[in-house]
Amino acid sequence: MTQPRTIEDLRSEIDQINRDLLKLLSQRAAVVAQIGHAKTQEGRPNHYDPAREEQQLRELEALNPGPFTNATVKSIFKEIFKASLALEESNDKKQLLVSRKVKKEDTVLDIDGVRIGGDAPPIIIAGPCSIESEEQMEQTAEYLAGKGVKILRGGAYKPRTSPYGFQGMGVDGLILGGRVARANKMLFVTEVMDTRDVEVVAEYADILQVGARNMHNFALLREVGRARRPVLLKRGLSATIEEWLYAAEYILSEGNNEVILCERGIRTFEKWTRNTLDLSAVALAKQETHLPVIVDVTHAAGRRDLLIPLAKAALAVGADGIHIEVHPSPATALSDNEQQLDFAGYDKFDEALKPMMKVPAGV
């Protein structure tokens, strides 16, 4: 008669089984990583394959010798699949061109001597929401240049909620914006909304803006990725940080490394501000990527009284610059009346921000 085995003895057998299981799990993970790599090479954006998982679960069910129920076996393997998928995706992320894991040092843009990102002092991008007239653009550019602003903004193509709202001056606006910026030794940034316009916008603008509503327009992202102009990429209204960074990846993957990320507030349940400024996204984007990150305080707040505190907060968390709308007469502006600053308002903004503008961002 054999003696019943002691608990200690049985536990040491379990310990050995654990070691074997761990070895097998690690072997499995190594194979999963290879599959993940192959998927990335094939350009498959989605690593999750529910059909493949389902097939494995069916086979395991058929083979299950017990004593665990099928439901238990399935839930254990589902955990393994989940961990495997996470592994595949994190390996994949390590290879993202936007990632600090790929490029440790900050990307510093130098656009005709205007430096953005890294150790450069924070920059201001300012100008009206829409380009409306010669007088409006000349007055604004002259005023802002006098304040030391190096980058003039102004929309020639406007993504308006209503198709009947003012849609922008189009090519005439581009010509005007470019000319006025140059006359005041400024750079000109303007939004491009359509792949068909990238070429003409790039002809007149120094920086191409992809707006929040187009952050998921992958054809446009690829097209600006092929343009030889830096790109200002706004975060989408409801985009996660990950989606925003993937949008930037589209641009870099086409060979254009000059991307400035712009947080502009996201849609939340809050009604007292137009959007909710997500400062953690700024800090995270700085941490996860090597790209310059700026904050559009105008669209984040949607109201003038918050522009100064939000801009200060943005710089405090490491933003490389601020984007703000300024108009000679906001009350008569063709868009965004509630949120653009007039010149007196900008004087106050400039004064309030001055102490934070000299030091490099991110300290």
Largest CA distance in the chain: 105
251, amino acid identity: I
- Residue of minimal CB distance from ligand ISJ? 84
Among 60, 61, 73, 81, interactor with ligand ISJ by CB under 6 A = 81
Q: How far apart are CA 253 and CA 258, in angstroms?
A: 11
Residues 84 to 113 in contact with ligand ISJ, rule: CB under 6 A: 84-85, 88
Piece in contact with ligand ISJ (CB under 6 A), picked from 83-91, 169-177, 188-196, 208-216: 83-91
* Shortest distance in whole angstroms from residue 81 CB to ligand ISJ: 4
CB 337 within 8 A of CB 303: no
Give me the phi and psi of 153, to 5 degrees please: -110, 165
Q: Given the complex with ligand ISJ, which of 48 and 68 has the nearer CB atom? A: 48
Q: How many residues bind ligand ISJ (CB under 6 A)?
A: 12
Residues 35 to 54 in contact with ligand ISJ, rule: CB under 6 A: 35, 47-49, 52-53
What is the per-residue burial (b if ≥16 Cβ within 10 Å, else e) of 225-246? Answer: bebebbbbbbbbbebebeebbb
* Three-class DSSP category at 113: coil
User: With the C-alpha atoms ordered 235, 128, 157, 256, is the resulting torsion angle positive or negative?
Assistant: negative
Q: Given the complex with ligand ISJ, which of 53 and 92 has the nearer CB atom? A: 53
* Shortest distance in whole angstroms from residue 26 CB to ligand ISJ: 13
Q: Which residue has the tokens 């990527």?
A: 289
60 near ligand ISJ, rule: CB under 6 A = no
Q: Which residues bind ligand ISJ (CB under 6 A)?
A: 32, 35, 47-49, 52-53, 56, 81, 84-85, 88
